[in-house]
A and B are shown apart, each in its own frame.
Chain A
Amino acid sequence: MFAIIAAKDMRELARDGRLLWAGGLILVLLLVALAAGWNRQVQLNNERSAGQALDYDAWLHQGYRHPHDAAEQGMHVFKPEPPLGVFDPGIGPFVGSTVWLQAHRQSEVKFRPAQDATGLQRFGELSPAWLLQVLVPLLIIVIGFNSMSGERERGTLRQLLSLGVPARSLLLGKAAALASCAGVLIAPVGVGFAAFLVARLPAGERLDVVYRISWLAAGYGLYLGLFVFLTLAVSALVRSSRAALVILLGFWVAATLIAPRTASEAVNLLYPTPSRLAFDDHLSHDIAGAASKAWAAHFGARTQWDPSLPLSKWGAALKVDDAAGYGALDENFGGLWDTFERQQRAQEWVGLVAPVVALRGFSMGLAGTDFSQHRDFSTAAETQRRKIQDIVSEDLIKHADPLGNAHFTYKAGPELWASVPPFKYQLPSVSFALAHHWGSLALLAVLFCLSVALAHYALSRPLMR
């Protein structure tokens, strides 16, 4: 029974201009977004892996040099773009991808693409994820708002009910028609692109990406399904098509445009972000405090770099000084990043009324472009920096410290450079992302069930009033 209804609805929708125009536009945008994203990603990844290899090569072949100066030149490392970044660039435009690992500076990820862009960037990024999160729900509303109310207004509902069509079949049929219209648009492109992407990956990474894609499909399925059932429910509950349209559009605007901004403003009040100045001051205060304690403990010196400390101890002093700073760095940056993560988790509750907020976090997480995965990279880069620093200090203790005033004439050679391993960063696996985002998926599932229940209630009420 429901198949007949679905087939009839689909035929109607196919003959209607709305689906053709809106769907066509979305399809074109989807293809453009995928092509542009893919192009950008390939270029960036090539550039970055080449840059990083060159950089390491230069590190190895820097010739004879004082180790501390070598640490000054440092090393650049680049964040690899995750394969699904094409689908959802996430926070990518607003965080950098380059870290210069230098002595005595916490490695900060620099060069945010948004800084190299114009103010237009703030309108958003044309990505497949954006299209699916914002425009496809609109499409569902636009083609589905009158699927029940229209039948009632035309009087065909009377006809259907008099034939004894059960409400359940009506609901399923109409939902199937709406969903397949959206599906027909998205699925071929999605499946095609997924196959293309997976085929281009090295065999070792394929499985992980396939898992990620399937989870993404589940998340987006729930999200779009929610809109399908919500549209049907409102269309059945409301007196006229016009009212249904106005209510649904109002919900769409509030949920996809207004709620995310309001949410981020609100959590900023709840967990305030420190200003850079305050953060820097706090950090240097903590480092200085930790350092003076360490200096006092190890060398009996009153201050950092106290003149009483002979140059022959500077290697050891560097080591002590750096090690004292690690704790303060970890604490301050950790605290800041925890604040960011707390802010995001708090926002996800807004997902209860604005499903796009929940979906956005989930989508970024599984695409590998969310903050937790960015943090993972930053931590890895910092670990590498400390590795360099420690190796250098150790070498200074061994070689430069006995030299007295000629401390800086010491020159290390290629063996020391080679003892620093190349920076190899492994993108976190899908389980890392799921551990961070299962809550959003659960929220989406709950919302989906609620919308199904609402639609069921709406259709099982007496339909002819």
Chain B
Amino acid sequence: MKSRSLSTLSLIIRHEARILVRDRTLPLVCCVLALMVGYGLFVGLAQATLRDRMVAQVAKHEQETQRANTGTLQSVLAGKSALVPFSNPANPAALAGTLAGRFATIPNAPLAALAIGQSDMMPNYYRISYLSKVQFMYDTEIENPWNLLSGHFDLAFVIVFVLPLLVTTLGYNLLSAEREHGTLRMLCSQPLSVPTLLTGKIVVRMLALLAIAIPLPLIVVLLIRPETRGVEQLLLMLSWSALITAYTLFWFAVAALVNATGLSSSANALIMVALWTTFVLILPVTMNLVVGLVSPAPSRTELASRTRVATAESLREFESLYSADYRYASDPEALLVKGERIEVPSRMRAFFLAKQRVDEKIEPLLERFDRQLLQQQRLVDRLSLLSPAILVNEALNSIAGTDSRRFVAFKDQTEAFHNKWRQYFSPRILESRAMTAQDLSSLPQWHWIEIPASETSWSIWWRTALMLALAFMVGGAALARSSRSNRIAV
């Protein structure tokens, strides 16, 4: 009995494949998909390469500065170089600030090419110095805002937006076309159940779409980017494939359910487009609004005002340092390293201290922003249950390492590093200790600590599992309905 229905299923599958190839629907749709996947991947790869290059450039920059500082320090110590307070690396205040040449960078995740996510908007490096956080943490990557508004044509877009449309193209008339054409009567007079028929039809279409959407990008990425060949990355790719399969299955299940209602092809197409518009366009946009209303970000205007107040207060606090006599222009000798000491000009000390004080004062407010953003993200996680598109989009970005979570982690680590940087210099500046060649090579180093893989994979797999459950629920309903539906053939 079971083998009988299996052989029927495989017969239907072969038959469908032949029909779809003969009437050129399948080749056409597959070509469109292949083109779009290819282009989306190209865009993703281009962006990832751009960012890779940027990180490499930053590293080079950092090394060059380091080398230049070491050179200058040597000539300063040998008394060969004329002295300007801001460009004397023996002066800890100068090295902490203008000469720092330190960067915090976040490397691309290996699969970054699969989704651009937030990476076009969030900076992937910060320039570290003693400047206050408000001065450097809000630098952003340069991008035409119009392009940010349009969004990128990346693989995630193809999957989240276009793939369901192609599913709709292939699936809006699964049964209705057969009914309108009259072949459904012929089929139903054979020992064949409608659920088997539906399953067979969906399997062919789904295999065809997935055979392009999944292997194509993975193979390209594996070939072009050697860093994707680790076990961890392969696992991520597996979850990526599972996610896409689940999402495709969901849309086919929706198509099956719509077809099981027994309406006309046009009505089916309308319903499918209405559902697509709701899930992919309207719900995310509305939820964005809801998130902003329920959990609004604190006011940036307030931050600006607070910064001003804090700056004014710290200027006042260090007033005496700011206005101390400045004799280094007329007496450069004063800047020489004497023993282990160097005179840090009081104005420079004032800069350092004032910036530090500003940060201390606005820290709570900045924390409020971070907390708020985290809260918003949690809200999104919960609301994303309402729309498969959001669910999948978030998971795709997680896999590619371009989700907001990773950038928030980057910001946090940068802040910590910035504090460390200051703490390193603070005693040296206060005690007027000169920087030595040895110090220069043991300055605080930036290390990006990747978010734990377990955290990412958890956030990906629960979404995938949910997507699958949803797909099976809808699909089950569709099959149940189609087997009960008695008017399907008439």
Contact yes or no, A119 B393, CB < 8 A: yes
* Known contacts A114-B121, A408-B347; is-contact A76 B140 (Cβ 8 Å): no
Kindly state whether residue B27 has any CB partner on chain A within 8 Å: no
* Segment at the interface with A among B54-62, B414-422, B448-456: B54-62
Bound CA–CA A115/B411 (angstroms): 12
Contact yes or no, A73 B377, CB < 8 A: no
With both beta carbons as reference points, the residue of chain A lying nearest to B53 in the complex is identified as A275
Instruction: Determine the chain B residues whose CB is within 8 A of the CB of A65 once the complex forms.
Output: 315, 319
Contact yes or no, A408 B324, CB < 8 A: yes
Bits for A331-368, please: 1 = Cβ < 8 Å to B, else 0.
00000100110011001000000000000000000000
Whole-angstrom distance between the Cβ of A264 and the nearest chain B Cβ: 4
Q: Identify which of residues 262-292 in chain B touch chain A, using a CB-to-CB cut-off of 8 Å.
A: 265-266, 269-270, 273-274, 277, 281-282, 284-289, 291-292
Contact yes or no, A146 B138, CB < 8 A: no
Kindly state whether residue B438 has any CB partner on chain A within 8 Å: no
* Known contacts A121-B288, A408-B324; is-contact A275 B142 (Cβ 8 Å): yes
Bound CA–CA A178/B297 (angstroms): 42
Contact yes or no, A116 B312, CB < 8 A: no
Kindly state whether residue B307 has any CB partner on chain A within 8 Å: yes
* Known contacts A277-B58, A311-B326; is-contact A130 B380 (Cβ 8 Å): no
Q: Identify which of residues 275-318 in chain A touch chain B, using a CB-to-CB cut-off of 8 Å.
A: 275-279, 281, 303, 305-307, 309-311, 314
Kindly state whether residue B329 has any CB partner on chain A within 8 Å: yes
Kindly state whether residue B293 has any CB partner on chain A within 8 Å: yes
With both beta carbons as reference points, the residue of chain A lying nearest to B144 in the complex is identified as A340
Contact of A242 (CB < 8 Å), options: B266, B305, B323, B327? B266
Q: Does more than half of chain B's interface fall in helix, strand or loop, or is it mixed? A: helix
Bound CA–CA A278/B58 (angstroms): 10
Q: Identify which of residues 103-151 in chain B touch chain A, using a CB-to-CB cut-off of 8 Å.
A: 117-118, 121-123, 125, 134, 138-151
Kindly state whether residue B309 has any CB partner on chain A within 8 Å: yes
Contact yes or no, B284 A120, CB < 8 A: yes
Instruction: Determine the chain B residues whose CB is within 8 A of the CB of A281 once the complex forms.
Output: 61
Contact yes or no, A273 B325, CB < 8 A: no
Kindly state whether residue B161 has any CB partner on chain A within 8 Å: yes
Kindly state whether residue B409 has any CB partner on chain A within 8 Å: no
* Known contacts A116-B369, A258-B162; is-contact A344 B146 (Cβ 8 Å): yes
With both beta carbons as reference points, the residue of chain A lying nearest to B116 in the complex is identified as A122
Contact yes or no, A343 B144, CB < 8 A: yes
Bound CA–CA A275/B319 (angstroms): 39
Instruction: Determine the chain A residues whose CB is within 8 A of the CB of B301 once the complex forms.
Output: 44, 47-48, 51, 78, 98
Bits for A87-121, please: 1 = Cβ < 8 Å to B, else 0.
00011011111101000000010111111111111
Kindly state whether residue A399 has any CB partner on chain B within 8 Å: no
Instruction: Determine the chain A residues whose CB is within 8 A of the CB of B465 once the complex forms.
Output: none
Kindly state whether residue B299 has any CB partner on chain A within 8 Å: yes
Kindly state whether residue B83 has any CB partner on chain A within 8 Å: yes
With both beta carbons as reference points, the residue of chain A lying nearest to B118 in the complex is identified as A119
With both beta carbons as reference points, the residue of chain B lying nearest to A241 in the complex is identified as B266
Instruction: Determine the chain B residues whose CB is within 8 A of the CB of A138 once the complex forms.
Output: 273, 277
Instruction: Determine the chain A residues whose CB is within 8 A of the CB of B426 once the complex forms.
Output: none
Bits for B21-47, please: 1 = Cβ < 8 Å to A, else 0.
000000000000000000100010000
Q: Does more than half of chain A's interface fall in helix, strand or loop, or is it mixed? A: helix
Instruction: Determine the chain B residues whose CB is within 8 A of the CB of A225 once the complex forms.
Output: none
Kindly state whether residue A142 has any CB partner on chain B within 8 Å: yes
Bound CA–CA A96/B148 (angstroms): 13
Contact of B397 (CB < 8 Å), options: A119, A135, A268, A276? A119
Interface band, chain B? 35 or more
Contact yes or no, A69 B150, CB < 8 A: no
* Known contacts A58-B312, A115-B140; is-contact A411 B323 (Cβ 8 Å): yes
Contact yes or no, B284 A124, CB < 8 A: yes
Bound CA–CA A18/B301 (angstroms): 45
Contact of B282 (CB < 8 Å), options: A29, A246, A258? A29
Kindly state whether residue A261 has any CB partner on chain B within 8 Å: yes
Contact yes or no, B373 A242, CB < 8 A: no
Bound CA–CA A74/B286 (angstroms): 39
Contact of A142 (CB < 8 Å), options: B165, B169, B270? B270
Kindly state whether residue B72 has any CB partner on chain A within 8 Å: no
Of B57, B148, B404, most buried by chain A (CB within 10 Å of CB) is: B148
* Known contacts A73-B315, A126-B289; is-contact A257 B277 (Cβ 8 Å): no
Kindly state whether residue A437 has any CB partner on chain B within 8 Å: no
Instruction: Determine the chain B residues whose CB is within 8 A of the CB of A242 once the complex forms.
Output: 173, 265-266, 269
Kindly state whether residue B86 has any CB partner on chain A within 8 Å: yes
Bound CA–CA A405/B144 (angstroms): 47
Bound CA–CA A223/B123 (angstroms): 37
Kindly state whether residue B322 has any CB partner on chain A within 8 Å: yes
Interface band, chain A? 35 or more
Kindly state whether residue A62 has any CB partner on chain B within 8 Å: yes
With both beta carbons as reference points, the residue of chain A lying nearest to B268 in the complex is identified as A242
Kindly state whether residue A196 has any CB partner on chain B within 8 Å: no
Bits for A36-57, please: 1 = Cβ < 8 Å to B, else 0.
1000000010011001001100
Contact yes or no, B285 A111, CB < 8 A: no
Contact yes or no, B277 A135, CB < 8 A: yes
Bound CA–CA A371/B146 (angstroms): 8
Instruction: Determine the chain B residues whose CB is within 8 A of the CB of A48 once the complex forms.
Output: 301
Contact of B297 (CB < 8 Å), options: A117, A120, A274, A340? A117
Whole-angstrom distance between the Cβ of B34 and the nearest chain A Cβ: 15
Contact yes or no, B122 A115, CB < 8 A: yes
Whole-angstrom distance between the Cβ of A331 and the nearest chain B Cβ: 16
With both beta carbons as reference points, the residue of chain B lying nearest to A340 in the complex is identified as B144
Of B265, B274, B323, most buried by chain A (CB within 10 Å of CB) is: B323
Bits for A374-418, please: 1 = Cβ < 8 Å to B, else 0.
100000000000000000000000000000111111110000000
Contact yes or no, B142 A265, CB < 8 A: no
Bound CA–CA A145/B347 (angstroms): 74
With both beta carbons as reference points, the residue of chain B lying nearest to A48 in the complex is identified as B301
Contact of B293 (CB < 8 Å), options: A22, A36, A404? A36
* Known contacts A116-B369, A344-B146; is-contact A307 B83 (Cβ 8 Å): yes
Of A90, A124, A279, A343, most buried by chain B (CB within 10 Å of CB) is: A124
With both beta carbons as reference points, the residue of chain B lying nearest to A302 in the complex is identified as B82
Instruction: Determine the chain A residues whose CB is within 8 A of the CB of B330 once the complex forms.
Output: 310-311, 404-405
Instruction: Determine the chain A residues whose CB is within 8 A of the CB of B347 once the complex forms.
Output: 408
Bits for B83-102, please: 1 = Cβ < 8 Å to A, else 0.
11010000000000000000
Kindly state whether residue B300 has any CB partner on chain A within 8 Å: yes
* Known contacts A120-B291, A343-B146, A347-B146; is-contact A51 B312 (Cβ 8 Å): no
Kindly state whether residue A66 has any CB partner on chain B within 8 Å: yes
Kindly state whether residue A72 has any CB partner on chain B within 8 Å: yes
* Known contacts A58-B308, A135-B277, A242-B266; is-contact A275 B297 (Cβ 8 Å): no
Contact of B394 (CB < 8 Å), options: A117, A119, A249, A261? A119
Bits for B305-321, please: 1 = Cβ < 8 Å to A, else 0.
10111011001100100
Instruction: Determine the chain A residues whose CB is within 8 A of the CB of B139 once the complex forms.
Output: 108, 276
Kindly state whether residue B12 has any CB partner on chain A within 8 Å: no
Contact yes or no, A409 B284, CB < 8 A: no
Whole-angstrom distance between the Cβ of B403 and the nearest chain A Cβ: 6
Contact yes or no, B277 A116, CB < 8 A: no
* Known contacts A47-B301, A126-B285; is-contact A94 B324 (Cβ 8 Å): no
Whole-angstrom distance between the Cβ of B106 and the nearest chain A Cβ: 14
Kindly state whether residue A263 has any CB partner on chain B within 8 Å: yes
Bound CA–CA A117/B152 (angstroms): 18
Kindly state whether residue B390 has any CB partner on chain A within 8 Å: yes
Whole-angstrom distance between the Cβ of A23 and the nearest chain B Cβ: 12
Bits for B244-271, please: 1 = Cβ < 8 Å to A, else 0.
0000000000000000000001100110
- Besides the known contacts A265-B43, A405-B325, 7 further A-B residue pairs in the complex with CB atoms under 8 A apart: A58-B312, A118-B377, A119-B118, A123-B281, A258-B162, A339-B144, A344-B144
Which 4 residue pairs spanning A and B have beta carbons closest together?
A: A123-B284, A116-B297, A91-B145, A94-B145
| B interface residues with partner A (beta carbon < 8 Å) | 39, 43, 50, 53-54, 57-58, 61, 82-84, 86, 117-118, 121-123, 125, 134, 138-153, 157, 161-162, 165, 169, 173, 265-266, 269-270, 273-274, 277, 281-282, 284-289, 291-293, 297, 299-305, 307-309, 311-312, 315-316, 319, 322-330, 332, 347, 369, 372-373, 376-377, 380, 389-390, 393-394, 397, 403-404
